[in-house]
Structures are given as C-alpha cells and as structure tokens.
Amino acid sequence: MNPYIPRVVPIVDIREETPDTKTFTIAAPMSFQPGQFVELSVFGYGEAPISISGGDGKKIDLTIRAVGNVTNKIHRMQVGEYVGVRGPFGNGWPVEKAKGKNLLIVAGGIGLAPLKPVVEHVCSHREEFRNVTLLYGARKPSLMLFKYKFDEWAGYMDLLLTVDEAEPGWEGHVGVVTTLCDKIRHVADTITLMCGPPIMMKYTSMVLLELGFPPSEMYLSLERNMKCGIGICGHCAVGGVYVCRDGPVFSLNKAFRFIEKPHEVQGVLD
C-alpha cells in the first residue's frame, strides 16, 4: 500500500466551535489511539497534520482552526464535499499507563482537541482511573472548545477552567493556566497529559514540576511541520526523533531540552 495516497472521504457534518474553529466529521472508517493524528488533504491546497478529536470507528472528528492554506479552505467547505485523509499516524497518549492511577489533563486553546478522546475514554471507563482532573485554559470564554460537553464531563472529573481575559457572563477563574495548578487535589501517582501552545506547555510544566509532579510521568504533545507523516521528509525531526513517528507525544524528560530554549537548543535533544 502506498502511504502517500490519501483516501477520498466526504465531510458528513460541520459544527462551529468558536469563530475560528470548526469540527468536521468525515466518513473515514479507522480505528485510532487518542492523541494520534491524520494528514488531511484538500486537493489543490495541500496537506496538513490534524489531530483526531473523536470518532466511532466509522467516522472521525477533526477540530480545525483556520490558520493556513488547507485549514482556511476546509473552513469554506460544505457538508458533502470531499477531502483526502491518510493515517492515523503517531504514538498517541499513554492512556494504558494511567490505569489505576490519578490522571491530570492540561489543555490550552486548540490543545483540547487531541485530548478530547482521552476525556471521553475517561467518561466511559471511569472505574479504570482514580482521581481525574481536567485543567483547561483559553484566551477568552468565547474561544473555549466543546463548551456543550463541560456539564457532562464535570460529572466524571474535576473540571478547572480559566480564561486569560473575561467576557460578559463569565463567572469563572481569570488568569493563565499556571494560576490554577495549585487547585489540583492529587500530586502523587499522577500521569499528566498536556497539549497547548509551546509557551503555555513550557510554563505549566515548570509549575507542575515545582509542585512535585515527576517529569517522567508528564506527557506533552508537540506540534511540528509534518509533511509526510511517516518519518521520511525530515521536517518534523527534532533532536534525532521524528515527531510524526516517535511522537507527537513525548515525556517531559525527553522534551525538556527543547522547551527550555526553544530557538537555541531546538535541534539538539538527547
């Protein structure tokens, strides 16, 4: 099978999440691990790596913010139009490892999308985990993803929400994600899964380390410019690993050195 050839599949549902983010449900039958991604093709526009935010084996959800060529175009597309998809690629979150342990999920902005399958897994297999906390921060309340799910999720886990900037009607916490870290009720025996903008992951992991979370039990999902998704094109290579094949999820131990000095030591990770 040629790994560069995408499967052509239709868009079956589009849901507006925030002004610049939509969730596209595409009829791509595939089984995937939470945290894996696909290469989404819009023919004529190119390909972009998009993490899977949900699915049932017959369809997958892709939550996409309009930032580039491919993503802007798919935002202009309608239900019934066709896209291409390759994958799933990547290693995914170590959900198995968290069984019988406490689980902390930290997300910033669009970073909740790759973590949503984990959250949903927790909801349907709640008995597998001990304490579970979801810490989610966004720039504004109107930019929060999956708000319609929050009530349901709150029934299964501690839900800590924060925004950088309040808007009328927001009664919750205001401040960056790190300001909520001391509200987490469990430190010992906790697996942490984190995804968000590089700057947020850097500071949050530093605060969590100070609180006593071990770096080997903290996992981050990294974003890189993956072109092929299969570890050949070289664009996502960092410090001798391919983010597309060996990642996108890495333990903080591994990822530490390039979060420390993003521009300086970027290519030098060991």
Partner 1 sequence: MKLVKMVTIMGIKIAKNKVNEFLERVKQEYVLYAPVENGVTKFEKIGDPADICILPNRTDISLKPIFFPPEQEFFRWSKDTEGYHIEDLLENEEKKVIFGVRGCDIRSLEILDTYMSGEFADPYYTQRRKNTVLIGLTCSYPRESCFCTAFGGMVPNHYDLWFTDIGSYYYVDVGSEKGKKLIFGDIFENATKEDEMKKNRKIKKVEDEIERRTRIDLCEIKRCSQEIKKKADDDIWRELGEICVSCGRCNFICPTCHCFDVRDITNLEGSEGERIRVWDSCHLYEYAKTSAENFRKERHARVRYRIYDKFVFPVMRYGVYACTGCGRCTDVCHANINLRDVLRRLIS
Partner 2 sequence: MPVDIAFVEGTPTTRDEVIKLLRIRKDCKVLVALGACADTGGVPGLVNTISKRDAIKVYQGNPPEISLNPKPLSYYVNVDYILHGCPFSRKELLELITDIVIGKEFREKEYSVCVECTLRENGCLLEQGYLCMGPITRGGCKAMCPSNGAACIGCRGPFEDANFKGHIRSLQELGFTKEQIIEAYSVFSYEKLKEVISWLKEE
Query: Which span (2-10, 68-76, 124-132, 225-233) binds partner 2, by CB under 8 A?
Result: 68-76
84/247 with CB nearer partner 1? 84
Q: Find which of partner 1, partner 2, none residue 72 binds, CB within 5 to 8 Å per kind.
A: partner 2
Q: Which of 19, 68, 172, 197 binds partner 2 (CB under 8 A)?
A: 68
82 contributes a contact to partner 2 by CB under 8 A:
no
Residues 186-215 that bind partner 1 (CB under 8 A): 197-198
Among partner 2, partner 1, none, residue 239 binds (CB under 5-8 Å by kind) = partner 1
Q: Which does 76 bind (CB under 5 to 8 A by kind): partner 2, partner 1, none?
A: partner 2
Give yes or no for a contact between 141 and 163, defined as CB atoms under 8 angstroms apart: yes
Residue type, 46: G
Among positions 120-159, residues that touch partner 1 (CB under 8 A) are none
**Distance (Å, whole) CA 78 – CA 85:** 17
| Contact status: 263 vs partner 2 (CB under 8 A) | no
Cα gap 25→31, rounded to integer Å: 15
CA angle, 225 then 230 then 235, to 5°: 30
Query: Whole-angstrom Cα distance, residue 34 to residue 96?
Result: 11
**Residue number with CB closer to partner 2 (75 or 140):** 75
* Rounded Cα distance, 134 and 107, in Å: 8
**Which residue reads 């029934």 in tokens?**
155
Q: Are 222 and 255 in contact, with CB atoms under 8 Å apart?
A: yes
CA distance 188 to 176: 24
Determine the Cα–Cα distance for residues 249 and 232; give it in Å rounded to an integer.
Answer: 18
CB of 208 to partner 1, least distance (A): 21
Burial class (CB in 10 A: 0-12, 13-18, 19+), 269: middle
Q: Is 175 in the site for partner 1 (CB under 8 A)?
A: no
7-66: which residues touch partner 2 (CB under 8 A)?
A: 44-45
Q: For residue 8, state whether it binds partner 1 (rule: CB under 8 A).
A: yes
228-247 residues near partner 1, rule: CB under 8 A: 228, 230-235, 237-241, 245
203 binds, among partner 2, partner 1, none (CB under 5 to 8 A by kind): none
Q: How many CA atoms lie within 13 A of 111 on its CB side?
A: 27
User: What's the CA gap between 37 and 34, in Å, rounded?
Assistant: 9
Which residues are 182's β-sheet partners? Answer: none
Q: Closer CB to partner 1, residue 84 or residue 141? A: 84
Token pair of 113, please? Answer: 């999308």
User: Between residues 76 and 185, which has the closer beta carbon with respect to partner 2?
Assistant: 76
The contact set with partner 2 (CB under 8 A) reads 44-45, 68-69, 72-73, 76
The contact set with partner 1 (CB under 8 A) reads 2-6, 8-10, 41, 43-47, 67-68, 82, 84, 197-198, 223-225, 227-228, 230-235, 237-241, 245, 262-268, 270
